[in-house]
Chain A
Amino acid sequence: GQNIDQPTEMTATEGAIVQINCTYQTSGFNGLFWYQQHAGEAPTFLSYNVLDGLEEKGRFSSFLSRSKGYSYLLLKELQMKDSASYLCAVIDSNYQLIWGAGTKLIIKP
């Protein structure tokens, strides 16, 4: 079967750095997305990785290791507005998108 694992919930402090991990076992791999979803709102696109390595976009970075079936989202200089759920999604060999259940990130002052 196809599976994506993310921690259910994480807590971090305002101004700090947090890393949200995502591991996947899918039939093939054609890319990985990270989306942000604030409570009661729609998911919005954060990043896309298809090659190994780190993609940096402002305070957010996303890393991919295809050989390990592993990605992480790194959030720096945390702000209260970063409190949200972060969804990992993988494109499989049939170009279908497989979604993780998401990680709820709680930011404390």
Chain B
Amino acid sequence: IAGITQAPTSQILAAGRRMTLRCTQDMRHNAMYWYRQDLGLGLRLIHYSNTAGTTGKGEVPDGYSVSRANTDDFPLTLASAVPSQTSVYFCASSDSGQYNEQFFGPGTRLTVL
């Protein structure tokens, strides 16, 4: 693979269910990010990781958790999905820090009913 992959591409989920969105990069980037994108609101940062083993909260972290066990993978978990979490989710990575060019995955379109 080259770049960033995300899975699934899209998902319809019942409210209250647990869901993990997967993200893998092969560029050996230190920093990784999860964003949600909603119409008219632009990209909003959910969680980030500056290096393997560390994570931090972004602008809208409530209801989401992340882990960064290694450099390549950065899964995002919704413990108990709610309809307001319906959105398009993008994973991104950069060489180091948000001040560097970010490379985005293709996105996951999530619908919570």
Contacts and interface: CB of A to CB of B under 8 A. Distances in A.
A42 B107 contact: yes
Interface in B55-113: 90, 97-99, 101-107
B45 interface: yes
B101 A99 contact: no
Interface string B26-46: 000000000000001111110
Main SS class of interface, B: loop
Interface of B: 40-45, 90, 97-99, 101-107
Given A42-B104, A97-B102, 13 more contacts: A33-B101, A42-B105, A42-B106, A43-B43, A43-B90, A44-B104, A45-B102, A91-B98, A95-B97, A96-B98, A97-B99, A99-B44, A101-B40
Interface of A: 8, 30-31, 33, 41-45, 48, 87, 89, 91, 95-97, 99-102
